[in-house]
Structure 1
Amino acid sequence: MADVNRGNRPLSPHLTIYRPQMTSMSSIMVRITGIATFVLAILVVWWLIAASTSEAAFAVIDGLLGSLLGDLLVLGAVWALFYHMLGRLRHVIWDFGYCLDVETSEKMGVGMFVGATVLAFVAIIIV
């Protein structure tokens, strides 16, 4: 059997030199915003159930969503919806075989952050 000295070697040497890339970070953010969108759906269902059950239950959730915390939640939820939508659009473009080079992919990642922010503020201002 080979003499393997595992105690003196790092477990993952690539982790010491790994640099996060825009494409990987934006892909992770698409997953996170998908989960955030699910939480938003739970809040919407809670609001609808409270509206259909009693005035007191509706006052609780409506008070929460009407507060500063609720405004921040709604802004974050709208941003997450737009970011997730742009991420899915990016993947459709990639599925057709376009924009697969690294430079364009990184620009699309930055564009997703900027686009989601602009769209979220436009939507909040309109509504």
Structure 2
Amino acid sequence: MANTRRTVERPLSPHLSIYRPMLTMMMSITHRITGAALFFGTLLLAWWLLAAASGPTAYSKVQAFTGSIFGMLILFGYTWALIHHMLGGIRHLIWDTGRGFGPAEREWLTLATIVGSVGLTLLIWIVGFVFMGGVR
């Protein structure tokens, strides 16, 4: 019968503790987290749509929640996650074409995703407050 036990120990695969954290690595993790956050935010969107279809009482309850400070923070985070995930997807689309793999291009695309997501989120909320008449 053959000996199935190995006498030589196999090396362990490198893990996060081995690698030096890089901005692109952190953005990959953030992209995954925002994808999961979008799932839960979409549940809130479904709640809002169901309440709108159910009548004024259900809709007013959802509006009271989303109009509270806690609700506004959740909506702000959902907006940022949506924009950030979209820009991360565009970054990956650029990589799928075979472009942007140089060190300078990778860093530029990563910084553009961060700055763009924060800037667009703030712009959307500022424009929303201006057109909606501010906090009610």
Please, what TM-score do these two structures have when normalized by structure 1?
0.83
Q: Secondary structure at the match of 2:29?
A: helix
1:93-112 alignment runs, 5 A limit: 93-112=94-113
The alpha-carbon deviation at position 90 of structure 1 amounts to: 0.5
Q: Secondary structure at the match of 1:35?
A: helix
Unaligned 5+ segments in structure 1 are: 6-10
Q: Taking every aligned residue pair, what percent have the same amino acid on both sides?
A: 41
Point out the structure with the larger helix share. Answer: 1
Q: Which residue is 1:8 aligned to?
A: none
Tell me the amino acid that sits aligned with residue 124 of structure 2. Answer: A
Task: After superposition, give the CA deviation of every residue in 1:19-38 in whole Å (9 maximum; x if it has no partner).
Answer: 21111111111111112122
Q: Which residue is 2:125 aligned to?
A: 124
Q: Which residue is 2:54 aligned to?
A: 53
The alpha-carbon deviation at position 43 of structure 1 amounts to: 0.6
Separation in structure 1 between the aligned mates of residue 59 and residue 20 of structure 2, nearest angstrom: 48
Please, what TM-score do these two structures have when normalized by structure 2?
0.78
Comparing both chains, which one has the higher relative contact order based on Cα–Cα distances under 8 Å and sequence gaps of 6 or more? 1
Unaligned 5+ segments in structure 2 are: 129-136
